[in-house]
Structure 1
Amino acid sequence: MRVLAALSGGVDSAVAAARAVDAGHEVVGVHMALSRNRDQLRTGSRGCCSIEDAGDARRAADVLGIPFYVWDLSAQFEQTVVADFLSEYQAGRTPNPCVRCNEHVKFSALLDKGVALGFDAVCTGHYARVVEGPDGSRELHRATDAAKDQSYVLAVMGPERLARALFPLGDVVSKEQTRAEAARRGLSVSAKPDSYDICFVADGDTQGFLRDRLGSRPGEVVDADGTVVGAHDGAYAYTVGQRRGLHLGRPAADGRPRYVLAVEPVQNRVVVGPAEALAVTAVRADRAVWFGDAPAAGTACEVQVRAHGAAAGAQVIRADDRVEVALDTDAALRGVAPGQSLVLYAGSRVLGQATVTGTTGPVSAPTGREPAVRA
């Protein structure tokens, strides 16, 4: 096959490309320039797409003996991933930019351009497995290394894009194995730090990034009964389940910590309350993407709502373009925010993905003044 290997400049993508070469594919390396104003150097483990990263990617391609190109996808990245990030927070939701990047850039813009140029598949350094099902269809499964598994952020790609995806690192047992393999191959990125957090917020200050882009919008922080207990500089900077950074001027009567229960974007208000009000018994979501047929009502499954969160047992209530699941009585899940991805699993297999619209819990979120985005 003719394979387009996405080379980020990190160790994972370099080893994935090397394995694609070993498999006999005709491999071409491409580095995606996603930032309009790229820094010369990376700042430790933060940020991405710097000129340094492009240089590391080029050197990896040279070691592997494959052609290499830099593609400017910054316009697509800004128009989809960054714009979605801002609009979702502005609407009181909590997006996952890695999910949107996989959906709109890596497995849309990059793959579409590759297919137009005659490539058969895109190879990335994601940790996930592709397994052939009993009917010959391709299934997306968790990686062997549970600590590095990235099936959660890949679930949005759907079966058509999965058919043209290669994840050579799916069977790796640990990141140390990947680094050791990179060192054996003479790849200089073998000891390069992993990137983390939001790649386009290089300093890690998400609230500051939102404030710079969306401006200051002072408002109230209120208790569940409507009592004003603090102030904020923009409701968009808060997410359900948040505890730190609330700067409440009035402590709770019982002295216990309070958490964000809801974000009310129309009234520019943040609602806080006790931890037990974050408990979740059911989750609703829309814009579902399924790998195969949607599961029938009553199907037992596991659900995950965060990239590195634990899976919780659940039962499907509804599954078509919209999804609703009831959590098992012993499932410990709380603080689920609208905008997060809900991914359904059957064992290690990904069944599908949808975007959270609301939750139900034993303690209702406040809804008297306007529909709170939690429920």
Structure 2
Amino acid sequence: MRVLAAMSGGVDSAVAAARAVDAGHDVVGVHLALSRAGGTLRTGSRGCCTIEDAMDARRAADRLGIPFYVWDFSERFRDDVIEDFVAEYSAGRTPNPCMRCNERIKFAAVLEKALDLGFDAVCTGHYAILREGPTGRRELHRASDNAKDQSYVLGVLTADQLAHTMFPLGETPSKALVRAEAEARGLTVANKPDSHDICFIPDGDTRGWLAERVGAERGKILDRSGAVVGAHEGAHAFTVGQRRGLALGVPAADGKPRFVLEVRPVSNTVVVGPKEALAIGEISGGRFTWAGAAPGAEEFACHVQIRAHADPVPARAVVQSANVSVRPETPLDGVAPGQTAVLYDGTRVLGQFTIDRTVSAVPAVAGGS
């Protein structure tokens, strides 16, 4: 097969490309330029897709003896990921830019271009497993190494995308083995640190970055009864479940700390309450996709996962028209609209949806905090 290896400049994608070469595929490496800030360089383990990463990817491709190109997707990344991130925060939602990048860039724009150029598949260094299901269509499963499993952030992939995707690292028991293999192959990225945080905010100051783009306007902090208990300098700086950074002038009646329960951008207010009020008994959303064959019933048992490294929770899901609703057996903690819920059947990813609505498992009481 003709395989396009997406090479980020890290150890995982380099070893994945090497394994594709070993498997006898005709492999071409490509690095995605997602920023036009020409002087951008990695700082420690923050960020990715920098000049340094592009050079590391090129060195790896040279070592493997495969052609290498850099594709400029900066405009698409700006429109589909960065602007979406800003718009979601402006609407009081908590987006996951990595999900959007996988959905709209790495496995949409890149795969579309690869297929147009005659490639059969795109190969990446993600930790996930592809298996053939009973209907003959590919299914997406968790990786062998639970600590590195990335099936959650790949839950946005559709059946058609899975049919043209390769994850050579999925069956590898540990990241340590991948690094050892890279060193044995003479790849200079063998001990390169993993990237963390949001790639387009490499200094990690999300609040400051958003303030420059959204603006900061002073507003009220309310308790669950609607009483004013403090003030803030910009609602965009808060996310559901947050405790730190709350300037509360009125202490809770029970003296316990309060957490952000809701962000209301229209009124520029933030709602706070006790930790137990973060328990969510139901979530729902309208933007959903299935990874492979869709569930065969409108209502089905599953596990739901709401963060990349959260534990999956047993639940029942109901699909009605253009909406999915999920009721977990035990309440979910600190869920915010804008997050992605990924549904599993055992190790298999069934699909995902963006959370539009949450229902608290702990109703507010009159006069309560």
Give structure 2 stretches of 5+ with no counterpart.
none
Secondary structure of the equivalent of 1:281?
strand
Measure how far apart 1:255 and its partner are: 1.3
Q: Does 1:346 align with 2:345?
A: yes
Secondary structure of the equivalent of 1:314?
strand
1:80, 1:45 → 2: CA distance? 24
1:360, 1:174 → 2: CA distance? 38
CA contact (8 A) 1:3 1:122 kept: yes
Deviates more, 1:97-106 or 1:286-295: 286-295
**How large is the RMSD of aligned CA atoms in angstroms?**
1.5
Give the match for residue 176 of structure 1: 176
Q: Taking every aligned residue pair, what percent have the same amino acid on both sides?
A: 62
CA contact (8 A) 2:315 2:327 kept: yes
Task: After superposition, give the CA deviation of every residue in 1:203-225 in whole Å (9 maximum; x if it has no partner).
Answer: 11111111011111211111112
Give the match for residue 46 of structure 2: 46
Amino acid at match of 1:353: Q
Q: Give the direction of change, closer, same or farther, for the CA distance of 1:342–1:295 in structure 2 (3 Å limit).
A: farther
Give the match for residue 31 of structure 2: 31
1:294, 1:88 → 2: CA distance? 29
Q: Does 1:93 align with 2:93?
A: yes
CA contact (8 A) 1:220 1:269 kept: yes
Measure how far apart 1:39 and its partner are: 3.5
CA contact (8 A) 2:303 2:344 kept: yes
- Where does 1:255-334 land on structure 2 (aligned, <5 Å)? 255-290=255-290, 291-318=292-319, 321-328=322-329, 331-334=330-333
Give the paired residue count: 365
Amino acid at match of 1:317: V
Amino acid at match of 1:61: A
Task: After superposition, give the CA deviation of every residue in 1:238-296 in whole Å (9 maximum; x if it has no partner).
Answer: 11111122232332121111111111111010000001111111111211101212352
Give the match for residue 61 of structure 2: 61
CA contact (8 A) 1:11 1:182 kept: yes
Amino acid at match of 2:359: T
- Where does 1:155-166 land on structure 2 (aligned, <5 Å)? 155-166=155-166
1:365, 1:30 → 2: CA distance? 53
1:12, 1:233 → 2: CA distance? 41
Give the match for residue 153 of structure 2: 153
1:28, 1:132 → 2: CA distance? 25
Amino acid at match of 2:357: G
Task: After superposition, give the CA deviation of every residue in 1:117-157 in whole Å (9 maximum; x if it has no partner).
Answer: 11111101111100011221100001111111111111111
CA contact (8 A) 1:127 1:143 kept: yes
CA contact (8 A) 2:131 2:140 kept: yes
Secondary structure of the equivalent of 1:87?
helix
CA contact (8 A) 1:294 1:319 kept: no
TM-score (norm 1): 0.94
Give structure 1 stretches of 5+ with no counterpart.
367-375
CA contact (8 A) 2:284 2:326 kept: yes
- Where does 1:100-179 land on structure 2 (aligned, <5 Å)? 100-179=100-179
2:141, 2:202 → 1: CA distance? 31
Q: Give the direction of change, closer, same or farther, for the CA distance of 1:161–1:287 in structure 2 (3 Å limit).
A: same
TM-score (norm 2): 0.96
Q: Does 1:335 align with 2:334?
A: yes
1:283, 1:176 → 2: CA distance? 37
2:144, 2:303 → 1: CA distance? 18
Secondary structure of the equivalent of 1:75?
helix
CA contact (8 A) 1:32 1:72 kept: yes
